[in-house]
């Protein structure tokens, strides 16, 4: 178990798309004669990068291929031979400005807002079908994640230990505090991994005999046994200062100007941050994303001066929530109401980033339909109330019948 506790994920952050010169890398790294797969795991709705670590020096461009599993003969080309990105946006949930879900940059494949169906094998190769490097990617469902709040004495899931394997959670580092000068929150993401000597050696990770739970390296029977284990998200409170006090004369000058800049927050006609106005239709769905944010970033939301903390607004805490924050850090409205009119502020990596002034209007030409969110909610409420009162009615009559039968038996005696 000591090896398990020291296991660290070797994932490349989605935001670190750094353009570097890679000719020297390709000259020093030889492609394997037999195609092997690096295993990688991510949460759904995340954006990640898969570098092509090796290729022949004569190859000036690569083509990325997708295969659902190693036994599947159907292989899909993610980009055509001219480098044009294939459109595949039908499964992207929520509002997003990402039009292309797959992109190639400096021989690396970048997948935007990964979905569970994106799990499988990704291979970089040539246009004539020769493969150079491969990945086995496991996308774990964030909607079914195990969420624990440290402030409420929540604890991570215990390890699942059996004779043939150990299933555990490999945690990322804590995110930065999502707000400054006020109480904020930190988030830590954990993904399901398994340690066993029965893993397929063709799929390898940075540590021997360790792979993600949904990887093809894990035998099918073992995957069924650990299928109930979920990824984890741990949330805790934090407090950090917006301005770090420095010593010396320069520090005093910096603090002086910082205090002057804070006065603008108290002037009502000056916005705290760049703000855009958005008019939305009454009763429809709405999802707001913080500009420049990635799913692994620390993002927080405020409604005017009200803090929307994850302990109250995180998706899954309450199924009846109309306003919630998902694991992709988006602020969602199941059905926009008039009382939602306000200015919403988003914090990115501990700094207030942008504001959204939401205006709500009703479309006079739109007719109410049974498929509308408000209609569905009303029908569910009426139906559940009818069932509840019916059960109470039946219970009262059954109780009266039993009481009457009991009295009859007493008189007979």
Q: What are phi and psi of 276, to 5 degrees?
A: -115, 145
Prediction pTM value: 0.65
Q: How many domains are contained in the chain?
A: 2
Q: What is the pLDDT of residue 263?
A: 56
Look-up: residue for tokens 């039946």?
A: 394
CATH number at residue 330: 2.60.40.10
Q: Over pLDDT 90: what percentage of the chain? A: 16
| Residues 146 and 14 occupy one common structural domain | yes
* Same-domain status, 46 and 162: yes
- Contact (CB, 8 A) for 200 and 217: yes
Does residue 264 fall inside a structural domain?
A: no
> pLDDT band at residue 82, thresholds of 50, 70 and 90?
very low
Question: Does residue 178 form part of some domain?
Answer: yes
Query: Is 402 within the bounds of a domain?
Result: no
Q: How far apart are CA 136 and CA 72, in angstroms?
A: 14
- 410, part of any domain: no
Confidence of residue 273 (pLDDT cuts 50, 70, 90): confident
Q: Quick one: pLDDT at residue 268?
A: 58
d(CA 281, CA 271): 24
* Shared-domain flag, residues 277 and 351: yes
Look at residue 8 and tell me whether its pLDDT is greater than 90: no
**Mean pLDDT: which of 30-34, 85-89, 103-107, 255-259 is highest?**
103-107
Contacts of 366-373 with C-beta under 8 Å, sequence gap 24+, read 366/281, 372/283, 372/335, 373/283, 373/284, 373/285, 373/334, 373/335
Residue 371 lies in a domain: no
Residue 191 confidence (pLDDT): 92
State whether 55 and 144 are in the same domain.
Answer: yes
| Measured distance CA(243)–CA(258) in Å, rounded | 7
Q: Considering the domain boundaries, does residue 80 fall inside one? A: yes
pLDDT at 29: 57
| Region at 197 (left for phi over 0; alpha for psi -120 to 50; beta for the rest) | alpha
Same domain for 198 and 309, yes or no, is no
Instruction: Tally Cβ neighbours within 10 Å of residue 166.
Output: 18
Identify the sign of the CA torsion 211, 214, 216, 218: positive
Q: pLDDT higher for 313 or 260? A: 313
The overall average pLDDT reported for the chain is 77
Indicate if 34 and 173 belong to the same structural domain: yes
- Residue 18 has a pLDDT of 37
Q: Indicate whether 208 and 340 sit together in one domain.
A: no
Q: Do 145 and 20 share a structural domain?
A: yes
Average pLDDT over residues 216-241: 89
From 183, 211, 236, the end of a domain falls on 236
Please determine, for residue 55, whether its predicted confidence score (pLDDT) is greater than 90.
Answer: no
Q: In the listed set 316, 333, 361, which residue is the last one of a domain according to the structure?
A: 361
Q: Which domain holds residue 335?
A: 271-361
Q: Which segment, 124-138, 189-203, 256-270, 306-320, is predicted with the most confidence on average?
A: 189-203
Largest Cα span, the chain = 104
Q: Is the pLDDT of residue 241 over 80?
A: yes
In 3D, which of 21, 290, 310, 303 has the Cα closest to residue 147?
310
Percent composition of the chain: helix, strand, coil (DSSP 3-state, to 5): 20, 30, 50
More confident residue, 183 or 269: 183
Helix (H) / strand (E) containing 402: helix 373-412
Compute the distance between CA of residue 225 and CA of residue 390 in angstroms, rounded to an integer: 41
According to the model, what pLDDT value does residue 231 have?
92
Contact 139, 119 (CB under 8 A): yes
How far apart (Å, rounded) are the C-alpha atoms in residues 28 and 139?
31
In a domain, 412, yes or no: no
Q: Are residues 51 and 183 in the same domain?
A: yes
Q: Where residue 20 falls among pLDDT bands split at 50, 70, 90?
A: very low
Domain boundary (213, 236, 259) is at 236
Which residues are paired to 139 by β-bridges?
42
129 and 222 together in one domain? yes
**For the ranges 19-28, 206-215, 249-258, 301-310, which has the lowest average pLDDT?**
19-28
Torsion of the alpha carbons at 94, 97, 101 and 104, rounded to the nearest 10: -160
Clarify whether residues 171 and 302 are in a common domain.
no
- 261 domain-assigned: no
Instruction: Give the pLDDT band (50/70/90) at residue 183.
Output: very high
Residue 185 confidence (pLDDT): 94
Specify the DSSP class assigned to residue 87.
P
Give me the DSSP letters along 51-79: ------TT----EEEEESSTT---EEESB
> Are 6 and 143 contained in the same domain?
yes
The average pLDDT across 81-89 equals 40
Structure-block tokens of residue 191? 């993904």
């Amino acid at each position: 178990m000591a090896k398990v506790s020291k296991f660290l994920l070797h994932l490349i952050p989605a935001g670190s798309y750094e353009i570097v010169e890679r000719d020297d890398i390709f000259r020093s790294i030889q492609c394997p004669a037999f195609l092997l797969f690096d295993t990688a795991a991510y949460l759904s709705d995340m954006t990640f990068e898969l570098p092509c670590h090796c290729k022949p020096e004569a190859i000036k461009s690569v083509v990325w291929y997708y295969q659902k599993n190693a036994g599947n003969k159907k292989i899909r080309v993610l980009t055509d031979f001219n480098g044009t990105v294939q459109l595949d946006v039908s499964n992207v949930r929520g509002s997003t400005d990402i039009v292309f879900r797959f992109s190639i940059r400096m021989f690396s494949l970048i997948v935007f807002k990964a979905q569970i169906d994106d799990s499988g094998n990704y291979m970089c190769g040539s246009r004539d079908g020769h493969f150079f490097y491969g990945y086995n990617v496991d996308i774990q469902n964030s909607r079914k994640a195990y969420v624990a709040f440290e402030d409420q004495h929540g604890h991570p899931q215990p390890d699942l230990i059996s004779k043939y394997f150990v299933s555990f959670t490999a945690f990322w580092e804590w995110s930065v505090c999502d707000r400054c000068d006020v109480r904020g929150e930190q988030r830590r993401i954990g993904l399901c991994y398994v340690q066993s000597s029965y893993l397929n050696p063709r799929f390898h990770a940075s540590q021997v005999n360790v792979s993600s739970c949904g990887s093809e390296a894990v035998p099918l029977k073992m995957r069924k046994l650990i299928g109930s284990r979920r990824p984890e998200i741990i949330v805790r409170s934090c407090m950090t200062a917006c301005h770090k006090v420095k010593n010396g004369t320069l520090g005093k000058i910096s603090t002086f100007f910082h205090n002057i800049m804070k006065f603008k927050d108290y002037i009502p006609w000056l916005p705290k941050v760049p703000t855009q106005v958005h008019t939305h239709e009454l009763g429809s769905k709405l999802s707001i994303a913080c500009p420049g944010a990635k799913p692994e970033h620390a993002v927080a939301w405020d409604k005017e001066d009200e803090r929307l903390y994850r302990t109250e607004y995180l998706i899954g805490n309450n199924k009846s929530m109309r306003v919630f924050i998902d694991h992709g850090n988006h602020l969602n409205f199941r059905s926009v109401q008039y009382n939602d009119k306000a200015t919403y502020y988003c914090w990115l990596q501990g700094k207030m980033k942008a504001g959204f002034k939401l205006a709500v209007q009703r479309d006079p030409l739109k007719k109410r339909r049974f498929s509308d969110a408000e209609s569905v909610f009303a029908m569910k409420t009426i139906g559940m109330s009818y069932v509840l009162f019916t059960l109470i009615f039946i219970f009262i009559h059954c109780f009266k019948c039993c009481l009457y039968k009991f009295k009859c038996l007493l008189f007979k005696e």
